[in-house]
């Protein structure tokens, strides 16, 4: 199952009775502020949900599988890492198949 931004807006609108446009604006502003904080090199911590953090990946040498004898330099770059919070981790662990 994939949960889209639209799905979130509809579900929140139905539960709260707010107009979908209002809910969409709040959801979009929330995502914009998270993006803005990360773009400035900050960290976003949402208790019981998780932490978004910017990490710098080191430069490295990669290989093209079609031409394994040729090295391809991959430059350093910033990426966003997410670490799930305690409650989210507990919920996701319930999906673990029992052996």
pLDDT 10s digits, 32-90: 999 999 999 999 999 989 999 999 999 999 988 888 888 889 999 999 999 999 999 99
State pTM to two decimals.
0.80
Q: Are 48 and 41 in contact (CB under 8 A)?
A: no
Please tell me the predicted confidence (pLDDT) of residue 63: 87
Contacts of 55 (CB under 8 A, 6+ apart): 78, 79, 80, 81
Domains plus CATH for the chain?
1-40 (no CATH), 42-94 (4.10.520.10)
């Amino acid at each position: 199952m994939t949960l889209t931004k639209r799905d979130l807006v509809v579900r929140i609108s139905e539960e709260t009775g707010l107009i979908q446009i209002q809910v969409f604006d709040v959801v979009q502003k929330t995502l914009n502020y998270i993006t803005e904080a990360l773009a400035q090199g900050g960290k976003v911590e949402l208790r019981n949900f998780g932490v978004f953090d910017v990490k710098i990946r080191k430069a490295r040498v990669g290989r093209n599988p079609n031409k394994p004898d040729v090295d391809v330099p991959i430059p350093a770059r910033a990426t966003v890492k997410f670490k799930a919070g305690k409650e989210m981790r507990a919920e996701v662990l319930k999906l673990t198949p029992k052996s």
